[in-house]
């Protein structure tokens, strides 16, 4: 499933002030230093570096880097200025442009590290190995027979719910994963409804 990426910057052989000067004075590729917005952020006592990016495809966006701690910076969100919402592709495209045109262009001698998360997540990567085996045990048998037809089938699905109820699996990811296993969209939606109900029930009586 495609997701919005996260960007983190780890300062190594460069101070925050030097990093600030480096990237704000060497901009290219449609990036502008938004100093006026930056000063508003500073008035709340939080260091930040603000930019605007101009895309020919989706217009202007606001882009802010905040300080997580002394040596770690991050981008919490990207705000569209000419439309109500960015698509996942547009969001990630903006991050990619910033990494390529601003960060990588000013990266040398190990002065800082760039950590950009994956743009896609899978169920297998989001849960532990044993839980994924339970998911596959359920799906491999059920797809061939068109749905739950035996009490043991239900047990396998419940085993998966019990194993993962506290892992906060994204419902869209679970739906896509079931469809990729061969279930119809309608049946996948039904199973996800059961999963959400079972998970909520278990959380209520466990915590």
175's enclosing H/E stretch is helix 171-181
| Per-residue pLDDT tens digits for 193-205 | 999 999 999 998 8
3-class secondary structure, 28: coil
Entry pTM: 0.82
Instruction: Please identify, among 116, 144, 171, the residue that sits at the C-terminal boundary of a domain.
Output: 116
Q: Are residues 147 and 93 in the same domain?
A: no
Confirm whether 147 is domain-assigned.
Answer: yes
Confirm whether 2 is domain-assigned.
Answer: no
Q: Are residues 87 and 181 in the same domain?
A: no
Residue 145 has pLDDT above 80, yes or no: no
Q: Are residues 52 and 144 in the same domain?
A: no
Confirm whether 87 is domain-assigned.
Answer: yes
Structural domain for 44, as ranges: 7-116
Taking residues 117-139, what's their average pLDDT? 95
- Find the largest Cα–Cα distance for the chain: 67
Q: Which token pair is 95?
A: 């991050």
| Per-residue pLDDT tens digits for 150-182 | 678 889 999 999 999 999 999 999 999 999 998
Confirm whether 136 is domain-assigned.
Answer: yes
Q: Are residues 12 and 104 in the same domain?
A: yes
- Interhelix angle for 151-164 vs 185-206, to 10°? 60
Q: Are residues 101 and 173 in the same domain?
A: no
Q: How far is CA 171 from CA 36, 44, 51, 184, in A?
A: 40, 37, 34, 16
pLDDT value, residue 20: 96
Q: Are residues 149 and 84 in the same domain?
A: no
Q: Are residues 69 and 52 in the same domain?
A: yes
């Amino acid at each position: 499933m495609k997701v919005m990426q996260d960007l983190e910057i780890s300062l190594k052989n460069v101070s925050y002030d030097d990093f600030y000067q480096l990237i704000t004075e060497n901009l290219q590729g449609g990036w502008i230093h938004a100093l006026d917005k930056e000063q508003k952020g500073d008035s709340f006592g939080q260091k930040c570096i603000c930019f605007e990016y101009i895309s020919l495809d989706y217009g202007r966006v606001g882009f802010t880097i905040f300080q997580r701690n002394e040596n770690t910076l991050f981008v919490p969100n990207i705000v569209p200025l000419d439309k109500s919402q960015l698509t996942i592709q547009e969001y990630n495209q903006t991050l990619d442009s910033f990494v390529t045109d601003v960060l990588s262009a000013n990266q040398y001698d190990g002065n800082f590290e760039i950590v950009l998360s994956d743009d896609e997540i899978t169920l297998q990567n989001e849960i532990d190995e044993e839980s994924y085996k339970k998911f596959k045990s359920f799906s491999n048998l059920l797809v061939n027979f068109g749905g739950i037809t035996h009490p043991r089938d239900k047990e396998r699905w419940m085993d998966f719910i019990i194993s993962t109820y506290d892992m906060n699996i994204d419902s869209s990811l679970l739906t896509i994963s079931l469809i990729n296993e061969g279930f119809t969209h309608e049946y996948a939606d039904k199973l996800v409804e059961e999963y959400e109900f079972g998970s909520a029930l278990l959380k209520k009586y466990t915590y």
